[in-house]
């Protein structure tokens, strides 16, 4: 379970989040993602709608970061390892919230440490 502070902030967040990954050679890659939601208070799930570099970085096993803002401009950052399920509960959850016009190839899930 993520800390209460994160869960409360998530309820008041602006729609877009920033998902940042890093390549094995240290090159950061940040994307705006509007297709994201919180799964059972335990993980942020972001739909993969054409994120080639992000997918490659996650496959390499490097850590990731999710940054979000609340409507009152408070920022929260979560850091940690991220998985890329293409089936199972995170994937099904992503398919349920991801708009039908987007492919939702996979679901980035994780980021468990508050900074």
How far, CA to CA in Å, does 66 sit from each of 18, 100, 108? 6, 24, 11
Cα 112 from Cα 81, distance rounded (Å): 8
pLDDT along the chain (115 residues), means of 10: 91 95 95 93 89 91 92 92 89 87 72 45
| Predicted local confidence at residue 39, as pLDDT | 93
Residues across the chain: 115
Angle at the Cα of 52 (from 46 to 55), degrees rounded to 5? 55
Record the pTM: 0.86
- Among 3.30.2420.10, 2.40.37.10, 2.30.110.10, 3.40.50.720, name the CATH number for the domain at 4-114: 2.30.110.10
Q: Between vectors from CA 65 to CA 62 and to CA 67, what angle results, nearest 5°?
A: 165
**pLDDT for residue 73:** 94
Distance of CA 10 to the CA centre of its chain: 12
């Amino acid at each position: 379970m993520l800390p209460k502070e994160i869960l409360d902030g998530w309820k008041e967040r602006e729609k877009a989040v920033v998902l940042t990954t890093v390549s094995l050679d240290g090159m950061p890659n940040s994307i705006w993602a509007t297709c994201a939601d919180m799964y059972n208070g335990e993980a942020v799930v972001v739909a993969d709608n054409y994120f080639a570099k992000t997918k490659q970085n996650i496959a390499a096993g490097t850590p990731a970061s999710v940054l979000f803002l609340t409507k009152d401009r408070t920022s929260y950052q979560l850091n940690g390892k991220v998985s890329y399920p293409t089936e199972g509960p995170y994937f099904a959850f992503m398919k349920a919230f991801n708009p039908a016009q987007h492919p939702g190839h996979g679901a980035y899930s994780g980021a468990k440490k508050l900074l």
